[in-house]
Amino acid sequence: MAANEVPKIGLDKYKYDFKNPENYYFRVQKGLSREVVQTISEMKNEPDWMRQIRLRALEIYNKKPIPKWGGNLDDIDFDDIYYYIKPAEKMGKSWDDIPRDIRETFDKLGIPEAEQKYLSGVGAQYESEAVYHSLRENLKKQGVIFLDMDSGLKQYPDLVREYFGTVVPTGDNKFSAMNTAVWSGGSFVYIPEGVHVDIPLQAYFRINARNMGQFERSLIIAEPGSYLHYIEGCTAPIYSEDSLHSGVIEIIVKKGARIRYTTIQNWAPNVYNLVTQRAVVYEDAVMEWVDGNIGSKLTMKYPAVFLKGRGARGEILSMSYAGKGQHQDAGAKAVHLAPDTSSNIISKSISSNGGRASYRGLVKVSKNADRVKSNTRCDALILDDISRSDTYPYMEVDNATARISHEATVSKIGDEQLFYLQSRGLTENEAMALIVRGFVESIVKELPMEYAVELNRLIELQMDGSIG
Amino acid sequence: MCNPQKLLEIIDLHVSIEDKKILKGINLTIHRGEIHALMGPNGSGKSTLANALMGHPAYRVTKGKVIFKGQNILKMSPDERARLGLFLAFQYPTAIPGVTVSNFLRTAVNSVRNEEINVLDFHKRLNEKMKMLAMDKSFTKRYLNDGFSGGEKKQSEVLQLVMLEPEMVILDETDSGLDIDALKIVSSDINKVMNENMGMLIITHYVRILQYIKPQFVHILFNGEIVESGDYSLAEHLEEKGYNFIMNEEQN
Ligand SMILES: Nc1ncnc2c1ncn2[C@@H]1O[C@H](COP(=O)(O)OP(=O)(O)O)[C@@H](O)[C@H]1O
Ligand SMILES: [Mg+2]
């Protein structure tokens, strides 16, 4: 290797690339139309008000232009997507109850095992519908609700109607409108006042079909003083055709409650991942987004906190890895609408092998929000000369008492660091992997153990390529 | 040709950085069990020699050979040299943020041994060695060289040295920046590690450390060349007269 050349990472490896035959129970025709929306609503046997919301959303969707900022959306053919695929006739009560190939998929992904070992409840979605859902008895007894969104709508229509679309309005952006028109699956979570769900709930989203569009819709309501850690994981097999994942997640964190929402998205490199996730946070409540973007072709995702009550706090930890052919346009949004609110944003991105990682963030302070504190820190690590990193921080501060800080660093793996580690016997790949692991350590240590281990293994795998 | 006692043989070594010639024909042989000191004023090329021996890519060897354990190592990568038993305690160790001393050491120990050490065995060994070095346990949880004081960096290098058990040790100004108490501790640690199978090259600007780790051979490096070699008395001589003496001698 030449003296000052940083080694190139070999072809990124993806280990979730296994596929089943497409044995769906029902599928709409490709493309997004009024007819498709009607069909979805009929299939689900929904109340009329929901059908009206969907149809209005479709109109809004059709009117909104495709965003010109963020990533390149020119290549995606929205008419070549299936907007709804129902994989099985009904949801399973146990893992044995669901079609064998689907069950085997989740086995391979380690979900039933995780359910036994370290989760309070599991939701498993395959294509457009949940195929399995569980919640520990003791939590049910305490009044905790954890259902797929469709069942949530059936069993708790009033709760859903009260909150649906209040956090992320239909017309917030083109993709929130799209999601609202064709949403299917996702989680409905309700934590009663003062209840602490100490062991995490997890939802797992799996795409199997080619040209699939998955539009989960989640709603989490945390009553005062409650606590929840919710984890979301996503994977798909690799196809040459594009797939689309466009979720909307709405969270309400009431007085003194605290929610941590952890995402580890490891979509296949042909998936467009365009997600809107937002929490409204009331008095002295805390919302924590931990966002790990590893996979996908293009991700556009900016977890948001709307700090509405005095003393509300938002934490957004974002980690992204952009490898060959990937663009991670990730970031955070903190909107301070009340006095004494605070936000803390930490972003760590790695780009290698021609990948591009962007941080896009907004910190907004309204006029009446006195004594706001907000810190942003973005660190980017670029592993070679063909990869790219950008930072787009936006600030709109309408109150002079706000204390806002923003720090950004961009670094390349240094020859000195590599040499130092190599002089201790580590190969160049091992040295790179260790440096990268160190770089993301502050975020990885916030992840549940199993995910931290997985992520570290993933980094090693990515580094384990051929070095020219 | 390969004398079993010979550990490291440097033959007519020329090294450049960018296009600047720094080392101009170094010859030095170190046998097992020997401690050599390499002394010289700042900028004379001491660290250049250390880095070139370890295989730093910026230090270009333009001529000469380095035979370590009978093999010419100049074509080897730094990690191959380390696995063969070469160790450099750096003058300026690099920080690796986010990587704990313990995690790093375990990775390094596994790498040089070429096999996975049992985690419990590793921690047992690490604890023993830290006790020997009178280091606080909490040290292992800190990020490698990140925010370390000068003294802590040196201690960290010595800890790595005792954990990795190399055969040939190069200490690049391990004494600099240490107060006298710290110097005594570090020196006594190094003495504990040294044995008749190992070779050691102590690079230093000052005579101080040599009072605690006694070398059998002393070499003076000046302007990229070894201008004088002798036994310990050469160091004492230097202590009395200073580098100016040698430099004047050279220039006249
Ligand atoms: N990385 C480097 N880049 C450019 N010049 C260097 C570098 N390292 C050392 N030098 C130069 O090489 C010469 C020898 O330096 P060095 O080997 O560090 O000396 P010493 O360790 O004896 O103080 C000095 O002139 C120094 O400026
Ligand atoms: Mg030096």
In a domain, A411, yes or no: no
For residue A45, how many other CB atoms are within 10 A of its CB? 8
Q: Work out how many domains chain B is built from and give that number.
A: 1
Nearest to A91 by CA among A41, A160, A147: A147
B61 is a domain residue = yes
Ligand 1 site, residue B40, Cβ cutoff 6 A: yes
Instruction: Specify if B235 maps to a domain.
Output: yes
Residue B147 touches chain A, beta carbons under 8 Å: no
| Contact call for B81 and A423, based on CB within 8 A | yes
Whose structure tokens read 């239909």?
Answer: A170
| Domain CATH number, residue B239 | 3.40.50.300
Q: Quick check: CB of B44 below 6 Å from ligand 1?
A: yes
CA distance A411 to chain B (A): 12
- Residue numbers of A between 424 and 463 with CB closer than 8 Å to B: 424-428, 430-431, 434-435, 437-442
Taking an 8 Å cut-off on Cβ atoms, the answer to whether A439 and B83 are in contact is no
Chain B's closest residue to A443, CA to CA, is: B98
Mean pLDDT by 10 residues, chain B (252 residues): 75 96 97 96 96 96 97 97 97 94 95 87 94 90 94 92 96 90 88 93 92 94 95 88 71 54
* Ligand 1 near B204 CB (within 6 A): no
Measured between CA atoms, how close is B184 to chain A, in angstroms? 25
The pLDDT value given to residue A185: 97
Cα B51 to ligand 2 centre (Å): 10
In-domain check, residue A103: yes
Q: Is the CB of B104 inside 8 Å of chain A's CB atoms?
A: yes
Q: Write down the pLDDT at residue A242.
A: 95
DSSP assignment of A92-144: BSSGGGS-HHHHHHHHHTTHHHHHHHH-SEEEEEETTEEEEEEE-HHHHHTT-
| Ligand 1 atom with least separation from CA of B45 | 17
Contact A71, A298 (CB under 8 A): yes
Residue A351 in domain: no
Can you give the residue range of the structural domain that contains A98?
A: 7-301
Q: Is the CB of B45 under 6 A from ligand 1?
A: yes
Q: What is the Å distance from ligand 2's center to B23 Cα?
A: 13
Q: Is residue A155 part of a domain?
A: yes
B182 inside domain: yes
The residue whose C-alpha atom lies closest to atom 3 belonging to ligand 1 is B17
Query: Quick check: A11 pLDDT over 90?
Result: no
Confidence class of residue A65 from pLDDT cuts 50, 70 and 90?
very high
End-to-end CA distance of chain A: 7
Answer yes or no: do B94 and A437 touch at CB < 8 A: no
Is B169 within a domain? yes
Q: What is the pLDDT of residues A291-346, one digit of tens each?
A: 999 999 999 999 999 999 999 999 999 999 999 999 999 999 999 999 999 999 99
Calculate how close chain A gets to B33, using CA atoms only, in Å.
Answer: 22
Q: Phi/psi zone of residue A30: left (φ > 0), alpha (ψ -120 to 50 degrees), beta?
A: beta
pLDDT band at A461 (very low <50, low <70, confident <90, very high): low
Judged against a pLDDT cut of 70, whether residue A282 lies above it is answered with yes
Contact A423 B112 (CB under 8 A): no
Residue to mutate, B13, B21, B48, ligand 1, most ligand atoms under 8 Å from C-beta: B48
Three state DSSP letters for A146-189: EEEHHHHHHHCHHHHHHHCCCCCCHHHCHHHHHHHHHCCCCEEE
> Is A235:A16 a contact under the CB 8 Å cutoff?
yes
**Residue B49 domain-assigned (yes or no):** no
A71 domain residue, yes or no = yes
Whether residue A426 and residue B57 make contact (CB cut-off 8 A), yes or no, is no
Residue B47: inside a domain: no
By alpha-carbon position, which residue is closest to atom 6 of ligand 1?
B17
Q: Would you say residue A343 lies in a domain?
A: no
How far is the C-alpha of A355 from the C-alpha of A382, rounded, in Å?
A: 9
* ipTM for this prediction: 0.95
State which ligand 1 atom lies nearest to the alpha carbon of B41: 22
Task: Classify residue A8 by its DSSP letter.
Answer: P
Q: Report yes or no on B1 lying in a domain.
A: no
Dihedral sign computed on CA atoms, order A42, A44, A50, A54: negative
At CA A304, angle to CA A302 and CA A305, rounded to 5? Answer: 165
Number of domains in chain A: 1
Mutate to test the interface with A, among B91, B107, B153, B169 (most CBs of A within 10 A): B107
> Could you report the per-residue pLDDT of A157-203, keeping only the tens digit for each?
999 999 999 999 999 999 999 999 999 999 999 999 999 999 999 99
Residue A210 belongs to a domain: yes
Is A413 a domain residue?
no
Count other Cβ atoms within 10 Å, centred on residue A452. Answer: 16
* Residues A418-441, mean pLDDT to the nearest whole number: 93
**Looking at the domain assignment, is residue B48 inside a domain?**
no
For residue A248, is it left (φ>0), alpha (ψ between -120 and 50) or beta? beta
Question: What is the domain extent for residue B143?
Answer: 6-42+54-251
Binding site membership of B22 for ligand 1 (Cβ less than 6 Å): yes
B200 has a chain A CB within 8 A of its CB: no
pTM of the predicted structure, to 2 decimals: 0.84
pLDDT of amino acid A272: 97
